[in-house]
Amino acid sequence: MSVSSRSRLTCSACTRRKVKCSKTVPCTNCIRRDQQDTCGINDAQGNPTSPPQSLTSRAQELDYLRQRLTQLENEIHQDNPTDRVATAHNLHPETPDVHSNETVHDIDSIAATRDAATVLEFLAWGRRKDPDCHTVVSIEPAENVSPGVDTGILQDLSQLPVLQLLLPNAQQVRQLVDYHRDCLLWYHGSYFDPTFQTQLSDFYDTHNGMIEDPAVNLQWVALLFSILTASLTCAPDTQARAWGFDEAERETLSRRWFQAIITCLNRADYTSNLNILSCQAITTATVSAHLLGFSTTQSIHLATAVRVAQSLGIHHLGPDIAGNLVVNETGRRVWCELCNQDWFSIPFSETYLISPRYTTSAPPSNSHDHDLIPVDADIPTITSYSRFLRDIAIIMPQLQDGLISSNTAYTRYEKVLNYDARLRGLATRERPLFMTNAPLDSTWPVWVPWARHALAITSSHKIVMIHRSFLLDSFVNPAFAFTRRTCLAASKTIIKEYNCLVEEDGPTLWIHQAFAVAASITLLLDVLHRDPGERECSEHRTHAQNVVRILKSRRDSMIATRGTKLLEAILAQTAPDVMQQRRGKHNRDGTPAIKFNVSALVRDFCKSNSANLPLAFPQDHASSPSSEDPPPMYHSSDSNLLGTDFTQSHPSFPFPATGANSFDDLLYLANYDFTNT
């Protein structure tokens, strides 16, 4: 190709000035001169593929570059026809031929198989883990505004008058705040209620409940909206109606209030004007964020809250630090919740922000708010649940470090068994008395039964998370039979507790639905690795169907909506006739010719939900050995927190080359939001 056939890449302004150009549009010189709007390229040859003189977006620049690549490819083809295939592969990766497409799918399948189960669970939260799904699913639910309805200024929550309109009357605000104190604060412990009650009284008595008052701290208003959102989202329907909120208004206000949290924080410039109030608002918002479909937004703000808290020194509130007792104790409570949220997210993010090694803050004291005098751990206080949850959460970063430092599947599985035993000991032998099956004391708070269910569900879910990297291997390799038995028992415990919660009139916590979906996924994966006639197939399908039935009754929850779609898709693949058809084909040596392809399910579920198409599951022509050690039956009468089989000793085992599987992909799907939900 001759020099004269090349198109000019320097912009017109740099050409006139005879200065060196960065050959980008806009170029650095034009940006420096504040002339980026007029930066453009004049092709002296009059090339029709040249861009216009004014390019104001990266999209136009990218389009131009694609045209230039096509032109260069054609010129190369004219000079050397034998290189056309190679050139096409190099310059057009977005349009591969059939063979290259198969290669890409093979690579995707390997990546998806690595940790598929958490990916599926993650989808129910509206979070992203699998990059292949990014182009076909939306992250957060879009606003549902009826066509033709012009809401005008009401859509602009950045205006303080609009935020003022969102507040209910003072009586309803106090009712929602009191409900949060009595029924939800035990779950996260992110703020000190006596302090907040004083601030709330001042808000109405001194500032007449006016958000627009310049003396009102918008970061405190964010905390107020966070508390209100959690109460309205989690309270039973009967309670919400008693406050005066019908179903339609409840749905609208809960979402608007959550958005108001972020608006207030941003208007207060909370990343510059550091205040513990922003950390309290964000950690409290976790209670409602997942149910409302704002999991991705919440995860980003939690990360920011960690940095704000560290800047305030909250991570260094040791037991002997001087200062105001209430202030220090409030800081410890907030930091404890930030640690719990960060460490429990490790199975999904595979990293963590808070290093236990550099955290010197003491856990919050087990004390009542009216005196802050430490009491025995067996006495329930507003911090009891968070304190014990921290003991469980700290296992997760230690496990992550251990897995990363291990070089073989043998040593990785040793780490899994070690931390499995640690969590088992915590959950069964080191629980506070009120968290066990001891008879309820009439002096205990109303939330104690709910805390028992929550701890059983959370502990069981964390057992599955500890074993997640070996879960799919456990279905086909008897060496990991202990993982299979453990995860199945834990999953049945979660579903048993979830069924009990439905019959009670307590608040709805996001972990109830999310972890029930994860448990159902685990049971259905087990079904997919069994012969259709085995008794466990019917039992596990029944458990999952019961979860779907409950989830369908929670139309106000995004986790329930996504989880229902995913579980119904997997249930369809575990139907006896479908299973029999899959098992009907064998290789010449008698081994099954077709096995269920989890990574294909993940990929096709993403595509079908983005386009509302029927699910079509490709099948992988490979043998699928079944485990010789099926899990034992689960008995609902058993009262063990983690299930009957959690007291078994660890078996001896040989190890395969890897411990990878696709469990994470399934968990991811369960928590992801799709465009056409």
What pLDDT digit, counting tens, does each position of 142-154 carry? 444 444 444 455 6
Q: 49, 79, 109 — which closes off a domain?
A: 79
For residue 367, the cross-strand partners are 374
Please report which confidence band the pLDDT of residue 69 belongs to, taking 50, 70 and 90 as the band edges: low
pLDDT average, residue stretch 558-586: 84
Rounded to a whole number of angstroms, the CA Rg of the chain reads 29
pLDDT at position 103? 39
Q: In 423-444, which positions are buried (b, 16+ CB within 10 angstroms) versus exposed (e)?
A: bbebbeeebbebbeeeeeeeee
d(CA 465, CA 77): 53
pLDDT at position 495? 97
Please report which confidence band the pLDDT of residue 132 belongs to, taking 50, 70 and 90 as the band edges: very low
Q: What percent of the chain has pLDDT over 90?
A: 55
Residue 63 burial (C-beta neighbours within 10 Å; 0-12, 13-18, 19+)? middle
pLDDT at position 81? 45
| Residue 356 scores a pLDDT above 90 | yes
pLDDT average, residue stretch 73-86: 51
Question: Does 322 lie in the same domain as 228?
Answer: yes
- For the ranges 22-36, 49-63, 451-465, 587-601, the maximum mean pLDDT occurs at 451-465
Beta-carbon contacts of residue 593 (< 8 Å; ≥ 6 apart):
585, 586, 587, 621, 623
| Residue 633 scores a pLDDT above 50 | no
Task: Name which of 66-70, 404-408, 530-534 the model is least confident about.
Answer: 66-70
Question: Does 417 lie in the same domain as 346?
Answer: no
Kindly state whether residue 160 falls inside one of the protein's structural domains: no
Q: Which pair of tokens denotes residue 556? A: 């106000």
d(CA 324, CA 43): 71
Phi, psi of 88 (to 5 degrees): -60, -40
Kindly state whether residue 134 falls inside one of the protein's structural domains: no
d(CA 82, CA 549): 61
Kindly state whether residue 150 falls inside one of the protein's structural domains: no
Question: Does 324 lie in the same domain as 426?
Answer: no
Question: Does 489 lie in the same domain as 426?
Answer: yes
| Residue 116 scores a pLDDT above 70 | no
Helix (H) and strand (E) counts for the chain?
28, 0
Please report which confidence band the pLDDT of residue 18 belongs to, taking 50, 70 and 90 as the band edges: confident
Question: Does 568 lie in the same domain as 434?
Answer: yes
Question: Does 438 lie in the same domain as 314?
Answer: no
Question: Does 35 lie in the same domain as 176?
Answer: no
**What is the number of domains present in the chain?**
3
Please report which confidence band the pLDDT of residue 78 belongs to, taking 50, 70 and 90 as the band edges: low
Q: Which pair of tokens denotes residue 632? A: 């034992």
d(CA 32, CA 391): 54
pLDDT average, residue stretch 52-65: 57
| Residue 385 scores a pLDDT above 70 | yes
Task: Name which of 30-39, 83-92, 255-264 the model is least confident about.
Answer: 83-92
Please report which confidence band the pLDDT of residue 583 belongs to, taking 50, 70 and 90 as the band edges: low
Q: 62, 79, 96 — which closes off a domain?
A: 79
Q: At what angle do helices 535-552 and 510-528 cross, to 10 degrees?
A: 150
d(CA 236, CA 506): 7
Task: Name which of 159-163, 499-503, 622-626 the model is least confident about.
Answer: 622-626
Phi, psi of 238 (to 5 degrees): -65, -35
Q: pLDDT digit string (tens) for 158-168?
A: 788 899 999 99
Eight-state DSSP code of residue 38:
G
Q: Which pair of tokens denotes residue 211? A: 């958000």
Please report which confidence band the pLDDT of residue 540 belongs to, taking 50, 70 and 90 as the band edges: very high
Nearest CA to 342 out of 293, 282, 288, 409 is that of 282
Residue 589 burial (C-beta neighbours within 10 Å; 0-12, 13-18, 19+)? exposed
Q: Which pair of tokens denotes residue 31? A: 């940006």
pLDDT average, residue stretch 435-458: 95
pLDDT average, residue stretch 69-96: 48
Q: Which pair of tokens denotes residue 432? A: 């506070």
pLDDT at position 379? 96
Domain that holds residue 72: 3-79
pLDDT at position 115? 61
pLDDT average, residue stretch 578-584: 73
Please give the residue that has the higher pLDDT: either 394 or 69. Answer: 394
Please report which confidence band the pLDDT of residue 588 belongs to, taking 50, 70 and 90 as the band edges: low
Q: What percent of the chain has pLDDT over 70?
A: 68
pLDDT at position 504? 86
Please give the residue that has the higher pLDDT: either 109 or 397. Answer: 397
Please give the residue that has the higher pLDDT: either 645 or 343. Answer: 343
Question: Does 425 lie in the same domain as 339?
Answer: no
Task: Name which of 240-244, 254-258, 475-479 the model is least confident about.
Answer: 475-479
d(CA 477, CA 471): 10
| Residue 196 scores a pLDDT above 90 | yes
Residue 522 burial (C-beta neighbours within 10 Å; 0-12, 13-18, 19+)? buried
Kindly state whether residue 198 falls inside one of the protein's structural domains: yes
Q: Which pair of tokens denotes residue 480? A: 């990991």
Kindly state whether residue 161 falls inside one of the protein's structural domains: no
Q: 17, 46, 79 — which closes off a domain?
A: 79
| Residue 313 scores a pLDDT above 60 | yes
Please report which confidence band the pLDDT of residue 24 belongs to, taking 50, 70 and 90 as the band edges: confident
Nearest CA to 326 out of 222, 209, 197 is that of 197
d(CA 38, CA 29): 12
d(CA 137, CA 376): 49
Question: Does 437 lie in the same domain as 338?
Answer: no
Kindly state whether residue 576 falls inside one of the protein's structural domains: yes
d(CA 469, CA 526): 15
Kindly state whether residue 23 falls inside one of the protein's structural domains: yes
- Write the DSSP assignment of 549-568 as a string of letters: HHHHT-TT-HHHHHHHHHHH
- Which CA distances in Å does 129 have to 116, 364, 517, 653? 10, 33, 17, 31
Question: Does 582 lie in the same domain as 451?
Answer: yes
Tokens 């088992």: give the residue.
424
pLDDT average, residue stretch 488-497: 96
Q: Which pair of tokens denotes residue 344? A: 């429990």
Average pLDDT over the chain, rounded to an integer: 79
Question: Does 417 lie in the same domain as 519?
Answer: yes
pLDDT at position 265? 97
Q: Are 290 and 298 in contact (CB under 8 A)?
A: yes
pLDDT average, residue stretch 290-304: 95
Q: Are 209 and 171 in contact (CB under 8 A)?
A: no
pLDDT average, residue stretch 467-484: 93
Is the entire prediction scored with pTM above 0.75?
no
d(CA 29, CA 18): 12
Question: Does 446 lie in the same domain as 350?
Answer: no
pLDDT average, residue stretch 586-614: 60
| Residue 421 scores a pLDDT above 80 | yes
For residue 595, the cross-strand partners are 620
pLDDT at position 158? 74
Q: Which pair of tokens denotes residue 251? A: 């749905």
Kindly state whether residue 153 falls inside one of the protein's structural domains: no
